[in-house]
Amino acid sequence: MSLALAPLDVSVEIEANLPCRKFDPDLWFSDSPAQLELAKSLCGDCPLRVECLAGAVERNEPWGVWGGEIFERGAVVPRKRPRGRPRKVDVARDAELAHEVEERLAANGLDSRNAVRLAA
């Protein structure tokens, strides 16, 4: 008697190796700036990072980490700020990070002026 094996579903295998499937999903929707930075770093090597980011932009995701970027109120933000008034150094760093986000979006073929609203 011969047993026929079903073909391996490659999409299932890839999905199992995605960081957002391997780790706690709450990490990608945390209120903690440190946890969001961790989620962003985990997205770095993801094979679906660009597609994930493009899908989030299309859907106007209200919040969370998508494609290695943080979305807050439908806008891409360079980093999540802790509560309270920001220090002057943080404001200057945010301006630099906003520029880096624009460069990353452009590198992924997304024009930030038309596709994504960047939060100041």
**pLDDT, tens digit (0-9, with 9 covering 90-100), for 42-68:** 998 898 999 999 999 899 999 999 999
**pLDDT over 70, % of the chain:** 73
pTM: 0.59
Binding residues: 20, 43, 46, 52
Distance CA 82, CA 58 (A): 27
Q: Which residues are annotated as a binding site for [4Fe-4S] cluster?
A: 20, 43, 46, 52
Alpha carbons 89 and 13: distance in angstroms, whole number? 44
Question: Hey, what are 57's tokens?
Answer: 């932009």
